Amino acid sequence: MGSSERKEKEKEIRRKDILDAAERIFFTKGYRSATMDDVAKEAEYSKRTVYVYFGSKEQIYFEIMIRGYRLLLEMLESGLQKEKASDAIEEIRRIASILYRFSNQHPDYFDAIMEYENNAIDFQKGIPDHSKEECYALGERLLGCLMDALKRGVREGSVRGGLNVEKSALALWACTVGVFRTAKKKKYYIENYHGINPEDLVSEGFSMMIRSIRTETEE
């Protein structure tokens, strides 16, 4: 390994060290309470070194959110490839099930993705173009899984013909994560004021979504 390659390798290691440390800090203290000083201390680097690799706290959190997107897509694509769904409706249900499992198994990554989706944090400042492009590409791959399932359903006749696949996929994504987030964030209220199990709420919400896209003969 030449000196230039060694230097690049060292940079990659430092960058990963900083991201790993920031992830521990953000997921423990919360994004808003965490500081770049906290990240530097946890990573055991100077604050100046942290800024060499990341221009802002927003950029670091954005990169952590991308990690979450990668993990979600890995779970989704491997889950769908493992066993082909019997029909499009089953495939859409499986996508929702994997998303829900991800939200439970990796709640911090899920919250980071939701904060990005809901513009809860200003991710427009200081984010390199290549990071934005990767994020958009990951989002398109995720949306593509839903679009492919809907197209399959139209071909099979299980999903209403004439459906705008792109709009429907976006709506399904928005409604699905909205129900998941409500079930998680409003768990106490749902259980104690309405006597409803949050998982039952998720199931009912998704059943309503399925009914909105199915053909009448599939009801």
Q: Where are the domains of the chain?
A: 1-54, 56-218
Higher-pLDDT residue of 27, 114: 27
- Considering only CA atoms, which of 58, 76, 48, 51 is closest in space to residue 176? 76
Domains 1-54 and 56-218 agree in fold: no
Residue 172 corresponds to which tokens in the numbers above? 């399904």
pLDDT > 90: percent of the chain? 75
For range 176-194, the mean pLDDT: 92
Contacts with 190 (C-beta within 8 Å, 6 or more apart), sequence order? 182, 183, 196, 198, 201
Q: Find the DSSP H helices in 30-87.
A: 36-43, 47-53, 57-82
Residue 193's pLDDT is 95
- Between 3.40.50.1820, 3.20.20.10, 3.40.50.1970, 1.10.357.10, what CATH number should domain 56-218 receive? 1.10.357.10
For range 181-196, the mean pLDDT: 93
Fold exhibited by the domain 1-54: Arc Repressor Mutant, subunit A (1.10.10)
Residue 108's pLDDT is 94
Q: Given a cut of 60, is residue 209 above it in pLDDT?
A: yes
State residue 214 phi and psi, 5-degree precision. -75, 155
Average pLDDT, the chain: 91
| CA torsion angle 51 56 57 63 (round to 10) | -90
Q: Given a cut of 90, is residue 153 above it in pLDDT?
A: yes
Q: Given a cut of 70, is residue 121 above it in pLDDT?
A: no
Q: Given a cut of 60, is residue 183 above it in pLDDT?
A: yes
Q: Given a cut of 90, is residue 7 above it in pLDDT?
A: no
| CA torsion angle 207 210 216 219 (round to 10) | -30
For range 131-141, the mean pLDDT: 91
| Radius of gyration for the chain, computed over Cα atoms and rounded to the nearest angstrom | 20
Residue 217's pLDDT is 61
Q: pTM of this prediction?
A: 0.88
Q: Is 218 helix (H, G, I), strand (E, B) or coil?
A: helix
